[in-house]
Amino acid sequence: MDITSWQFLALIAVTLTVYILLPQKYRWTALLAASIVFYAAGGAAAMAYLLVTSVTTYFCARCIDALAAKRANLDAAEKKATRPAFDRKRHILVAAACLINFGMLFAVKYFDGVIALVTHGQGPALGLIVPVGISFYIFQSVGYVIDVSRGKARAERNYLKYLLFVSFFPQMVQGPIDRFGHLHPQLMEGRRPTADNARDGIQLMMWGFFKKLVIAGRAGTVVNAIYSDAGAYPGSAIAFAVLMYTIELYCDFSGGIDIVRGTAEIFGIDMAENFKRPFFATSLAEFWRRWHITLGAWMRDYVFYPLSLSRAFAAIGRFSRKHINGTVGRILPTSLATFIIYFIIGIWHGANLTYLAYGFYNGGIITLSIILAPFYGRVRKALRVNEESGLYRAFCVVRTFFVVFVGRYFVRAPWLKMSFVMLKRTVCDFYISALWPTVTGLGMTLSDLAVVLAGFAVILAFELIEERGVNIRESLAKRGFFVQWAAMVLPLLVILLLGVLGGGGGGEFIYGRI
């Protein structure tokens, strides 16, 4: 089910009505039913994967919980004595949950790609259809097992209640990857949603629809064609397509998340934030702390820290400090872990060398910037740059945007070589005069471009206001009726006319004159 479809809106309306009517204790069943309806619309096969994940993680967590419960009544000495055995068992259970679920994810999402890559397309293929949102709920469920294993959360005893945590419908398509301790209590609490919740949720959803339907859809017009056959286009058109893709990706992804979080908010449920104005980041590392935050946090908590604190990394650290002088020796283990994280994030997107390159690109730049930090410090000092000045911050923001922009050459290209072809053409065969004819030739009109750029400017303007610490919602709520009404009608009309209904108009009559 598409989260921009009327069916989704109808599902919300029906679920909300039932949710409010039910006694508080049973309200979660309405959410579960809605989640099953939502996911079942995607087909039975998709349901099967969801069941495998929920059942395996449920049992692993329950087993760990049972082991922990057994130790609860032991005295300190006994606890200490049984600790290694307990640790071993819970690690095995976590590993089992990981193995089954990531194994399944690999089979569904990566197997064919990897085989094709290794055998140059000659090998066998499973041909499985990747179910919607599988990466998201697997990450979320495995995170839960680890949380239980770490004693941060108690395992849910009721499978159906747990299933709701795994399958909560708004987040099924693209996250955010929430934590059990944060989301599950809210789902179970069944608090009656307030009018404030509904208003805030609707506003957030509208913001999401605006980004996704009005901007992302239009920006995407030229993206497919140019990325798939970049060699045929002038560099200026390639750079334009990459820019459009940068806008499209942000508006589509963060817009989708806004719709998801807005939906949850209507039910009075606060979901984890996933984007925090990433284009105002002053460095690439900061960008990644603002972009797809829940994935980054998941990586940090479940991969980066365990890795950094592992015995192997401690050994590497000792070795590097001893044998490599200066900054490099000091930061080597952290850099290595960073590299691994970005490598995994790269792979997370799909089985393609482009993602691998993307991981290296990000990891490389971040590592390099850590290594070069002292040097930059000296340069800034020599040039007497005021780091607190707005101008310097603006410079950093633009620089970061540029770095992100170049990274987009890798994410979307069909294969790695194409990324380099695109980069080369952008530099060597720019041909600015060929830009507009190419763009219009691919079906993007001047009004489309105007909508994309104006829309993106509006987004950035709002984000700038928020970046300065103003709460737009609150300040809007203090304004008069007509201002608030205008702030409601205008976006509604824009979404309806430029998004939902397209704006195609009478269009061309291909058969008109024959």
Partner 1 sequence: MSSKKWLITFTCTVVAICLLLLVGNVLVDPFGVFGDPIFHWDSYSQTLNPRVGKIEYLDRHHEEYDSYILGCSSTSSFPVEKLNEYLDAKFYNLFTYGADMLDVEQFARYIIDNYTVKNILLNVYIDNGSVYAEPGDINGSMHYKVDGSSKFDFYKKFIFLDPNYALDKVKRYFADEYLSEPYDVFWTPTGSYDKRERDVEPIGGLSEYEALPAYSDFADYPTYPVPLNVIDETMESVARIKQMCEDAGINLIVVSGPVYSGYMRGVPREDAGEFYSALAAVTPFWDFTMSSVSTEPRYFYDLTHFRNCVGEMALARIFGDKSVYIPEDFGVYVEGDSSAELLARNDAILDAEPASLTPEARVPVLLYHNIVPDGEEGFTASQLEGQLSALRDAGYTAVSFSELEDYVYRGADLPEKSVVITFDDGYASNYELAYPLLKKYGMKATIFVIGVSVGHKQYYKDTLFELTPHFDEAEMLEMSNSGLVSIQSHSYDMHQWAPFESGDRVREDIKRFKGESEEDFVAAVKEDFELSRTKIEAVTGKTVDVLAFPEGIYDELSQWALLDSGVNVTLSCRHGVNTLVKGLPQCLSAMYRIYADGYATGDELLSSIDSLT
Q: Which residues bind to partner 1, rule: CB under 8 A?
A: 194-196, 198-200, 202, 477, 481, 484-485, 488-489, 492-493, 496-497, 500-507, 509-514
Nearer to partner 1 by C-beta: 18 or 488?
488
Nearest to 462 by CA among 264, 222, 280: 280
- Min. distance of Cβ 144 from partner 1 in angstroms? 34
Find out whether 175 and 257 touch, Cβ atoms under 8 Å.
yes
DSSP calls for 99-118: HHHHHHHIIIIIHHHHHHHH
Nearer to partner 1, 23 or 504 (CB): 504
- Residues 413 and 351: beta-carbon distance below 8 Å: no
Smallest distance from partner 1 to CB 200, Å: 8
Q: Which is nearer to partner 1, 17 or 194 (by Cβ)? A: 194
Q: 270 or 301: whose CB is closer to partner 1?
A: 270
Closest distance of CB 203 from partner 1, Å: 9
Of 364 and 503, which CB lies nearer to partner 1 in the complex structure? Answer: 503
Separation of CA 237 from chain center = 27
Cis peptide upstream of residue 176 (ω within 30 degrees of 0): yes
Q: Which residue, 469 or 481, is less far from partner 1 as judged by CB?
A: 481
Closer CB to partner 1, residue 138 or residue 494? Answer: 494
How far is CA 245 from its chain centroid? 16
Nearer to partner 1 by C-beta: 199 or 349?
A: 199
Q: CB neighbours of 134 closer than 8 A, spacing ≥ 6?
A: 49, 53, 105, 108, 109
Closest CB 257 distance from partner 1, rounded Å: 22
Smallest distance from partner 1 to CB 269, Å: 17
Nearer to partner 1, 40 or 477 (CB): 477
Cβ 207 to partner 1, closest distance in Å?
Answer: 14
Fill in the DSSP letter of residue 496.
Answer: I
Six-digit token string for 450 = 């105007």
Kindly tell me which of 345 and 494 has the beta carbon lying closer to partner 1. Answer: 494
Number of residues that this document lists for the chain: 514
Comparing CB distances to partner 1, the nearer of 381 and 513 is 513
Q: List Cα–Cα distances, 476 to 167, 193, 368, 501, in angstroms.
A: 34, 21, 43, 28
In the numeric block, the tokens 């017009």 are attached to: 221
For CA atoms 386, 391, 395, 400, the dihedral sign is positive
Structure tokens at 19: 């949710």
In the complex, least distance from residue 510 CB atom to partner 1, rounded to whole angstroms: 8
Q: Do residues 352 and 346 touch, judged by C-beta distance below 8 A? A: no
Q: Please, what is the minimum distance in Å from the beta carbon of residue 26 to partner 1?
A: 25
What is the b/e burial string over 294-303, where b = at least 16 CB atoms within 10 angstroms of the residue's CB? bbbbbbebbe
In order of 15, 159, 177, 257, 412, the CA distances from 28 in angstroms are 10, 13, 19, 22, 39
Spatial CA neighbour of 179 closest among 115, 40, 274: 274
H or E element: which one contains 255? Answer: helix 235-266
The total of other beta-carbon atoms located within 10 Å of residue 50's CB is: 26
CB of 302 to partner 1, least distance (A): 38
Quick check: helix, strand or coil at residue 444? coil
Smallest separation, CB 1 to partner 1 (Å): 16
Which H helix or E strand runs over 154?
Answer: none
Choose between 384 and 509: whose C-beta lies nearer to partner 1: 509
- Determine the Cα–Cα distance for residues 210 and 266; give it in Å rounded to an integer: 18
Cβ of residue 60: shortest distance to partner 1, in angstroms?
Answer: 42
Helix residue spans in 22-110 (DSSP H): 27-40, 44-72, 76-105
The least distance separating partner 1 from the CB of residue 477, rounded to whole angstroms, comes to: 7
**Closer to partner 1 at the Cβ: 322 or 511?**
511
Handedness of CA 166, 6, 257, 132 (dihedral sign): positive
Could you tell me the smallest distance in angstroms from the CB atom of residue 270 to partner 1? 16
Cα Rg of the chain (Å, integer): 25
